[in-house]
Structures are given as structure tokens and as C-alpha cells.
């Protein structure tokens, strides 16, 4: 299987061009290639497919092999891949995902895509759609949740995938390896959850660490940054435009209230191309 390793703010995936490659069991392949010791090493695998509804279609898999519906850093890297490898010459493209069709604007410098601005669509607060179960509440905004014997306040949002945003005093001393799985598998989330821990710096800047469903701590999460920026706005912690500092880089998130949509702008980076034999792994 030919692949390209790419990352968005350090959130790294193995990208496969499924116009040329066929993967029999993508869940098992994702788990294998993601292994940082025995595989290629990544937060998961992303397949680029043809689409009959948009210019391209994304299928994304976490490092545990589970399928995710949306990936913000992933769609930016797909934009870079399809332009840089000549699958399109358009600088405005659409990508079909299980979390809806996304529109992307590509910035090209010296013939290569460097930055991508994505219309990430409207944040969803409807508890049933996220999904989250909380005392039959229709929305979960700034509600108490007990984890590891301590009370946290959580705001739950779907950006095509489920997020729980938790405000903390400092993200630096967070025991994320211990706390992350407790949030991810909390009984209130029937499909597990991605958890963002947010430290507010000022009314337009936050620091974020994330524990991703199916991948653990990652250096960045695009959908998570969007959910967090909206949670900050809802809880009056920031204005509508927020610079999110992540462990692997920064994302600029802007909430357009008139259109009720969130824009995410960030980089997309290629690391290397490679080829791997999966016959024994998938046998
Ligand atoms: N890293 C991603 C989100 C990937 C999917 C997530 N782990 C899930 O299972 O929902 C991003 O950049 O948005």
C-alpha cells in the first residue's frame, strides 16, 4: 500500500489515495499502521475516496481502528494532498465526510498548499444528536460532572463528532493519561467522547489539550478546537474569534453568528511518502 504521512498541527495520520489503492479491512489496517513501534506511527489512517456528492470523500479511522465521522486536521491535509498531487487544480473544494460535506479554501504558495480555511458548519447542541445522556436535558451546557471524585463543568457539542469541553485552571499540570479515558468512557456518552481541556488566557486566546476518542492524547484536534471555541463563546469566556494554542501548533477559529457556522484556519504539512506491505497483517 502506498501512503503519505501528513499532519495538521502535529495531529498525524497515514493518508491513502483510494483512487488507486483498495484496502480490504481499513479498521485493522488503521490499527496496524498507527502503531508507533511496530507500524508507521500515527494518530490513525485517512482514506481519500471519489465522491458522487462532493469533489472528494474522506473515511477516517482512529489509532484503535474505530471509525470517526469527522476530522478537522484531516480535511485540511486532504486538501493539501489532492492539490499537491494533482488530483485537482481547484483552490476551493468540497469534501464529503460522515459528519457532512465541508467547503475548503486553499492557500497556495510556490505551487503547494500551506494553509486551509474550512467551513466546519454549525455546532450542534442537541443532546440526542451528540449523543449525550444527562438527566433528560436537551442541551448540556456548563453542567457538573463527577470524574475521579472531582467535579468538573462540561459543555457538550457535536462538530459532526462528539465533544465534551471542560474548563480547567491550567492545562500544563493536567493528568490527562489518567483523566482522559475516564471522560472518554463515561456512561453519559453512549458512543464515547473526545474531551477538550481548556485554559482561558484572554477573551480571544485559549490553551487546549485533548484526549481523543480512539486515539488518546493527540497534539491537536480540529473539530475539538471548533467545539472549544464555541463552548468558550457560549459560556462567555471569550468572544466569537479565538486563537487556540495546541501542543502541536495554533488554529484560528472564528464563529460567524450571521451564518451560524464555524470557520477553522490552520496549516497542513506533508512529512514523507512511503510504501508498506499489509498482506500478512490483514490475512
Ligand atoms: N483529530 C480529529 C478528530 C478525529 C476523530 C475523533 N477521534 C473521533 O473519534 O471523533 C480532528 O482534527 O478533528
CATH of the domain at 150: 3.10.310.10
Taken in order 128, 130, 132, 137, is the CA torsion positive or negative?
Answer: negative
Residues 107 and 190 in one domain: no
Please give the distance of CA 43 from its chain centroid, rounded to a whole number.
Answer: 10
Query: Could you report how far apart the first and last alpha carbons of the chain are, in Å?
Result: 14
* Structural domain contains residue 58: yes
Distance CA 204, CA 229 (A): 9
Helices (H), 116-266: 176-184, 222-234
Distance CA 135, CA 18 (A): 43
Residues 249 and 277 in one domain: no
Exposure of 115 in the CB half-sphere (CA atoms within 13 A)? 11
Measured CA distances, 40 to 34, 43, 58 (Å):
6, 10, 20
Buried b (16+ CB within 10 A) or exposed e, 188-226: bbeebbbbbbbbbeeeebbbbbbbbbbbbebbbbbbbbb
What is the Å distance from ligand 1's center to 178 Cα? Answer: 20
What is the Å distance from ligand 1's center to 136 Cα? Answer: 26
Residues marked active site are found at 71, 221
Distance CA 61, CA 272 (A): 20
Protein residue whose Cα sits closest to atom 4 of ligand 1: 71
**Looking at residue 142, what DSSP letter applies?**
S
Model pTM score: 0.98
Domain count, the chain: 2
Q: Which of 76, 99, 158, 221 to mutate to test the pocket of ligand 1 (most atoms within 8 A of CB)?
A: 221
Binding site membership for substrate: which residues?
11, 62, 72-73, 161, 194, 212-213, 222-223
Whether the complex's predicted ipTM surpasses the cut of 0.95: yes
In order along its 283 residues, the chain shows pLDDT tens digits of 999 999 999 999 999 999 999 999 999 999 999 999 999 999 999 999 999 999 999 999 999 999 999 999 999 999 999 999 999 999 999 999 999 999 999 999 999 999 999 999 999 999 999 999 999 999 999 999 999 999 999 999 999 999 999 999 999 999 999 999 999 999 999 999 999 999 999 999 999 999 999 999 999 999 999 999 999 999 999 999 999 999 999 999 999 999 999 999 999 999 999 999 999 888 7
Tell which atom from ligand 1 comes closest to the C-alpha of 161: 10
Residues 172 and 211 in one domain: yes
| Owning domain of residue 255 | 143-259
Measured CA distances, 143 to 26, 79, 156, 166, 216 (Å):
37, 37, 9, 10, 24
Residues 92 and 19 in one domain: yes
Residues 112 and 177 in one domain: no
Protein residue whose Cα sits closest to atom 9 of ligand 1: 68
8 A C-beta contact, residue 211 and residue 150: no
* Structural domain contains residue 71: yes
Residues 236 and 278 in one domain: no
* Structural domain contains residue 40: yes
Protein residue whose Cα sits closest to atom 2 of ligand 1: 71
- Cis peptide upstream of residue 30 (ω within 30 degrees of 0): no
* Structural domain contains residue 150: yes
Distance CA 61, CA 34 (A): 10
62 lines ligand 1 (CB under 6 A): yes
Residues 187 and 163 in one domain: yes
* Structural domain contains residue 179: yes
Amino acid at each position: 500500500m502506498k501512503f503519505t504521512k501528513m499532519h495538521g498541527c502535529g495531529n498525524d495520520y497515514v493518508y491513502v489515495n483510494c483512487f488507486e489503492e483498495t484496502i480490504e479491512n481499513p479498521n485493522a489496517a488503521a490499527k496496524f499502521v498507527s502503531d508507533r513501534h511496530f507500524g508507521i506511527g500515527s494518530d490513525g489512517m485517512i482514506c481519500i475516496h471519489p465522491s458522487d456528492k462532493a469533489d472528494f470523500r474522506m473515511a477516517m479511522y482512529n489509532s484503535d481502528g474505530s471509525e470517526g465521522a469527522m476530522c478537522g486536521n484531516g480535511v485540511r491535509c486532504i486538501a493539501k494532498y489532492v492539490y499537491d498531487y494533482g488530483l485537482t487544480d481547484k483552490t476551493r473544494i468540497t469534501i464529503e465526510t460522515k459528519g457532512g460535506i465541508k467547503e475548503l479554501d486553499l492557500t497556495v504558495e510556490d505551487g503547494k498548499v500551506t494553509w486551509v480555511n474550512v467551513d466546519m458548519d454549525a455546532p450542534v447542541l442537541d443532546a440526542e444528536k451528540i449523543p449525550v445522556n444527562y438527566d433528560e436535558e436537551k442541551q448540556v451546557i456548563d453542567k457538573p460532572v463527577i470524574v475521579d471524585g472531582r467535579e468538573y463543568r462540561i459543555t457538550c457539542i457535536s462538530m459532526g463528532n462528539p465533544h465534551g469541553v471542560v474548563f480547567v485552571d491550567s492545562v500544563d499540570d493536567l493528568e490527562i493519561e489518567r483523566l482522559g479515558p475516564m471522560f472518554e468512557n463515561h456512561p453519559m456518552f453512549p458512543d464515547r467522547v473526545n474531551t477538550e481541556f481548556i485554559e482561558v488566557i484572554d477573551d480571544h486566546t485559549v490553551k487546549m489539550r485533548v484526549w481523543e476518542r480512539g486515539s488518546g492524547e493527540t497534539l491537536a484536534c480540529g473539530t475539538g478546537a471548533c467545539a472549544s471555541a464555541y463552548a468558550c463563546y457560549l459560556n462567555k469566556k471569550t468572544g466569537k474569534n479565538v486563537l487556540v494554542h495546541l501542543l502541536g501548533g495554533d488554529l484560528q477559529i472564528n464563529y460567524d453568528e450571521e451564518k451560524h457556522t464555524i470557520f477553522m484556519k490552520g496549516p497542513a504539512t506533508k512529512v514523507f511518502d512511503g510504501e508498506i506491505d499489509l498482506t500478512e497483517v490483514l490475512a
